[in-house]
Amino acid sequence: MKRNAIITAIDHNCGEFLLNHWLKSLKDSTNLTNIDVVVLDFGLNSKQIKDLKGEGVRVERIESYGNIVNSRYAAIAKYLETNKYDQVLLIDGGDIIFQKDISPLFDEDKKIFRAVPHTHHGLFYEFFIPRSLSFDKWASVYRFLSRKPMYNGGFILGPRELIIDIAEKMGKMIKHKKAYGADQIAFNYLAYKYGIKSLPITYNYTVAQTNYTLNGRNFTGSNGVKIIDGKFFDKDGELIAVVHNSGHSPFVRAYNNFGYGKGYNKKNVKAYIFRNIINFLLGL
């Protein structure tokens, strides 16, 4: 077992992407000498499991399935109880590629959560708090979060002990386990309580968002993104470290044919226009 870990959760629907794009880009870009790659198996097929293990990935079978996004936290806490890493990165596995080495992050600000914030949350809290939490928590959670920037839960880095603690509390806090967005509500509420440090946007560059600066801090964005030979560059011509093609469905994701290498990453013009109109109307 290595000193640190990168943990994701996946099923067979995203298994090929994980192997051929997520994992390949991670291994090509990042120094994994001190980092285990761990995949929580929420229903991979036998070939996918064999191929992942052949690449040196630790695959952990999860016996009880459910909504992966919300159910993964209990599984993460259970796995970490018996695997004593120093720093742990929790990351999405079906819509992210890596382009630069992220290993130095594991040795910085090691006592606190680190993640990338959005500038504003529009009506995200208003819409998803009632769908995610029990009625008695709505008002207090909303008052606490409503004026705070929202951190993206697709890339969460922190010390093992805090990851276990927050994962267990998130599992208890999320009342409606199948609700989309519930993890974002629970993570932000708890992370602000624990304390969290903002990472530069390059470490979770959410390409569906517009680009903003708030009080001198840069947040997630996509304005000026250029695709050259399938690679993502920001408006300053810098290679983006971690590209996140987020969205609940392909209809709203900013890029079609998302992946690692030449021939991938065609802008989804309809989705881009739709999302930016919505963002504008919500004051983003």
pLDDT in tens, 269-281: 776 676 666 656 5
The structure tokens listed for 24 are 């390949």
Is residue 168 pLDDT above 70, yes or no? yes
Domain coordinates in residue numbering, the chain:
4-201, 202-281
Secondary structure, 3-state, the chain: CCCEEEEEEECHHHHHHHHHHHHHHHHHHCCCCCEEEEEEECCCCHHHHHHHHHCCCEEEECCCCCCHHHHHHHHHHHHHHCCCCCEEEEECCCCEEECCCCHHHHHCCCCCEEECECCCCCCHHHHHHHHHCCHHHHHHHHHHHCCCCCECCCEEEEEHHHHHHHHHHHHHHCCCCCCCCHHHHHHHHHHHHHCEEECCHHHHEECCCCCCEECCEECCCCCCCEEECCEEECCCCCECCEEECCCCCHHHCCEECCCCCCCCCEECHHHHHHHHHHHHHCCC
* Pairwise CA distance, residues 231 & 17, whole Å: 16
Segment 1-21 mean pLDDT: 97
pLDDT at 83: 97
Question: Among 29-33, 236-240, 243-247, 257-261, whose mean pLDDT is lowest?
Answer: 243-247
pLDDT at 217: 47
pLDDT at 122: 57
| Choices 1.10.3720.10, 3.40.50.150, 3.90.550.10, 3.40.640.10: CATH for 4-201 | 3.90.550.10
* Pairwise CA distance, residues 29 & 22, whole Å: 11
pLDDT at 223: 60
Segment 177-205 mean pLDDT: 89
Query: How many residues does this entry show for the chain?
Result: 284
- Identify the residue with better confidence: 222 or 201: 201
pTM: 0.89
Q: What percent of the chain has pLDDT over 90?
A: 59
Banded model confidence at residue 216, pLDDT cuts 50, 70, 90:
very low
Segment 189-202 mean pLDDT: 94
Q: What is the pLDDT of residues 136-147, one digit of tens each?
A: 787 888 888 888
Is residue 30 pLDDT above 50, yes or no? yes
Secondary structure, 3-state, 129-184: HHHHCCHHHHHHHHHHHCCCCCECCCEEEEEHHHHHHHHHHHHHHCCCCCCCCHHH
pLDDT at 123: 60
Tokens 């919505």, residue? Answer: 278
* Pairwise CA distance, residues 124 & 132, whole Å: 12
The structure tokens listed for 247 are 């969205």
Is residue 171 pLDDT above 70, yes or no? yes
Q: What is the pLDDT of residues 75-118, one digit of tens each?
A: 999 999 999 999 999 999 999 999 999 999 999 999 999 999 97
Tokens 């208003």, residue? Answer: 126
Question: Among 152-156, 173-177, 198-202, whose mean pLDDT is lowest?
Answer: 173-177
- Maximum distance among all Cα pairs of the chain, rounded to whole angstroms: 51
Q: What is the pLDDT of residues 223-255, one digit of tens each?
A: 678 899 999 998 899 999 999 998 766 667 878
pLDDT at 282: 52
